[in-house]
């Protein structure tokens, strides 16, 4: 029987989400029917025209009252625990999740893969592999919504948001914007294409939709930008008086001037470029230039970040100013 109450379920999360949804719905229907049947039955039975036996009416029943308090309470707590667990799962991103970046703007979704492939309003992903989206908006608040995956997340200006999924069915699924974002909000959508692994690799090999056989990877694009903007005049192999070294920066703990510690993640690096004085590194002053969005776009920030991620340890000798970038890994291919 095909009676679609909800869209097709096409991600690992969707199956779990549906189980919760149907359980809550079934419980609600069960109790609603139970209550209404009882109301109707009693209303008819004790209608004033009926000669029902009204002697010995019960006054209070402690056991019954405890039961109808404790059982629903237990059920509510169980549903709370179950849904909390699903919510927490959304924050447990698998370590090997493929990284994809999404920029929302009025009125389209720009998608960038680490290997340099770009798509607009389309997202190609391999079947059965975890994918993490890191998203930001260039203008107003949007929300990235894939109904078949049962996932929706806000995409806001000024900060990254993120969610992940594992597609469980090949096919074409909707991408919608779920936040009213202006005149053409309703047209801000597209499709996720879930391809079996081999087809996905072929898609990557032919350079995505635009047939660019060797797209410049995000890290390579970031490196070119880093050189063009001369970030290296201050950031070298070691901390120096002009700036800190960016080697080994990503994921490390940074000690700030105000004494606090933060982890250098995507957001930290974005701030460091757009709003550097918000968190000055201890020992440094307000000397890093503030870059405007007209100089470095959100997309370029992501590319610079990908480049900085490739900067592992500083080279042993200080001859090499900027290290060669390893050939861009094909997402999905290394597994």
**What residue ranges bind Cu ion (CB under 5 A)?**
142, 177, 181, 188
CA atoms lying within 13 Å on the CB side of residue 223: 17
Calculate Rg over the CA atoms of the chain. 28
Binding positions for ligand HEC, 285-324, rule CB under 6 A: 287-289, 291, 304
79 binds, among ligand HEC, Cu ion, none (CB under 5 to 8 A by kind): none
243 scored as a contact of ligand HEC (CB under 6 A): yes
The residue (of 108 and 225) whose beta carbon lies closer to ligand HEC is 225
Q: Is 20 helix (H, G, I), strand (E, B) or coil?
A: helix
In whole angstroms, give the CA distance from residue 111 to residue 109: 6
Q: Give the total of residues touching ligand HEC (CB under 6 A).
A: 25
Shortest distance (Å) from residue 125 CB to Cu ion: 21
264 scored as a contact of ligand HEC (CB under 6 A): yes
Taking a C-beta distance cutoff of 8 angstroms, is the pair 222, 231 a contact? Answer: no
Shortest distance (Å) from residue 160 CB to ligand HEC: 15
In whole angstroms, give the CA distance from residue 156 to residue 23: 33
Among the listed ranges 9-17, 189-197, 228-236, 325-333, the one in contact with ligand HEC (CB under 6 A) is: 228-236
Spatial CB neighbours of 94, under 8 Å, sequence gap ≥ 6 = 130, 164
218 scored as a contact of ligand HEC (CB under 6 A): no
332 backbone φψ class: left, alpha, beta (φ>0; ψ -120 to 50): left
Shortest distance (Å) from residue 295 CB to Cu ion: 25
Bridge-partner residues for 191, per DSSP?
122, 174
In whole angstroms, give the CA distance from residue 94 to residue 97: 5
Shortest distance (Å) from residue 308 CB to ligand HEC: 6
229 scored as a contact of ligand HEC (CB under 6 A): yes
- Dihedral sign, CA of 199, 201, 202, 207? positive
Among 280, 299, 322, 330, binds ligand HEC (CB under 6 A): 280
188 binds, among Cu ion, ligand HEC, none (CB under 5 to 8 A by kind): Cu ion
272 scored as a contact of ligand HEC (CB under 6 A): yes
Taking a C-beta distance cutoff of 8 angstroms, is the pair 100, 67 a contact? Answer: no
Q: Which two tokens stand for residue 214?
A: 């060797």
Q: Tell me which residues touch ligand HEC (CB under 6 A).
A: 226, 229, 231, 233-235, 242-244, 246, 249, 254, 264, 269, 272-273, 276, 280-281, 284, 287-289, 291, 304
């Amino acid at each position: 029987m095909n009676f679609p109450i909800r869209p097709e379920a096409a991600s690992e999360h969707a199956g779990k989400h549906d189980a919760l949804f149907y359980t809550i719905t079934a419980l609600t229907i069960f109790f609603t029917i139970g209550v209404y049947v009882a109301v109707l039955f009693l209303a008819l039975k004790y209608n004033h025209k009926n000669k029902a036996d009204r002697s010995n009416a019960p006054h209070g029943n402690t056991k019954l009252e405890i039961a109808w308090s404790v059982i629903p309470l237990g059920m509510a707590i169980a549903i709370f625990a179950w849904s909390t667990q699903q919510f927490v799962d959304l924050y447990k991103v698998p370590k090997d999740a493929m990284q994809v970046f999404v920029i929302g703007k009025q009125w389209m979704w720009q998608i960038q893969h680490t290997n340099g492939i770009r798509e607009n309003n389309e997202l190609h992903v391999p079947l059965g592999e975890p994918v993490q989206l890191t998203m930001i908006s260039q203008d107003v608040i949007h929300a990235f919504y894939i109904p078949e995956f049962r996932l929706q997340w806000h995409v806001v200006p000024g900060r990254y948001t993120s969610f992940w999924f594992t597609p469980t069915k090949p096919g074409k699924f909707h991408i919608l914007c779920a936040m009213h974002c202006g005149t053409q909000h309703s047209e801000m959508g597209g499709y996720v294409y879930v391809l079996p692994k081999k087809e996905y690799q072929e898609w990557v090999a032919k350079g995505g939709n635009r047939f660019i056989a060797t797209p410049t990877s995000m890290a390579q694009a970031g490196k070119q930008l880093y050189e063009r903007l001369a970030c290296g005049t201050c950031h070298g192999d070691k901390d120096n008086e002009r700036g800190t070294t960016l080697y080994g920066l990503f994921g490390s703990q940074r000690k700030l001037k105000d004494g606090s510690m933060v982890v250098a993640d995507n957001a930290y690096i974005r701030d460091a470029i757009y709003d550097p004085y918000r968190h000055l590194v201890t020992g440094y002053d307000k000397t890093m230039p503030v870059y405007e969005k007209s100089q470095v776009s959100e997309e370029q920030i992501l590319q610079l970040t990908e480049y900085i991620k490739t900067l592992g340890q500083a080279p042993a000798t200080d001859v090499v100013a900027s290290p060669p970038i390893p050939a861009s890994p094909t997402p999905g291919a290394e597994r």
